[in-house]
Amino acid sequence: MTAMVGPGCVRHPDRETGVRCTRCERPACPACLREASVGYQCVDCVAEDARLRAGTRSRLRSGTVPWAAPTGRSVVIPILIAINVAVFVVTVVQAGSLSNNADAPLFGQWALQPAAVAQGAWWQLLTAGFLHIGPLHIAFNMIALWVIGRDLERVLGRVRFLVVYLVSLLGGSLVVFLFANPMSNTAGASGAVFGLMGGLAVVLMRLRLSPRPALTIIALNVIISFAIPNISILGHLGGLAFGAALTAAMVYAPTRR
């Protein structure tokens, strides 16, 4: 008889396994694991998460979550995506190039340059968030906006979601303005998207759901921001901080009785 050298599955102790549930970290065999948004979770955690989510949906629909303003179909996100795409098309037409659209005159007026803002071009703090350099840049940000923002808009409501988005965008721009090279140029909705990531993590914690998937996405994107050149880590971290802080203020604020 061969002795087991690895831990046994929590549900089948006689089955050796080298894999653990990413949520509870208990060892589990392949038959007891289910693919999750991040890694694999054991069937017990999957069932518990489904129970919690069902209870949360019921509470949101019944109006017993005082800070929530649940809404149905997403409206704000498609509008934001349409605006970003329209601006991108304008820059492509102006530059006469899909990949080199940063040559468009609109970039000179709208991209965030701290020195220009200091001289009065304050609108760049906002407009830079609607510019994107090349198709991959806008595709990545718009997909992230759609994937991350849908649940947040449905829970917070359209108005508060839009406020979180814009404050995250402006917060990221403000951090760039204060701490980046005065002659640098920054563009993109990434600061706002990072703010939504932070807001989603806060909402999950407030609903007593696991924030681990959101936190993992945040960690991976922060690592990417540091690892790849020409990415505005200041804008990302600024947006993340402002978005998380504002969402926390919304969902943890005392409610009227």
Active-site annotation, residues = 190, 236
Collapsed DSSP state (helix, strand, coil) of residue 74: coil
Q: How far apart are CA 232 and CA 58, in angstroms?
A: 40
User: How far apart, in whole angstroms, are the C-alpha atoms of residue 24 and residue 21?
Assistant: 6
Residue in 220, 208, 246 with CA at minimum distance from that of residue 51: 208
Other CB atoms within 10 Å distance of the CB of residue 128: 27
What's at 255, amino acid-wise?
T
Q: Cα(first)–Cα(last) distance of the chain, in Å?
A: 67
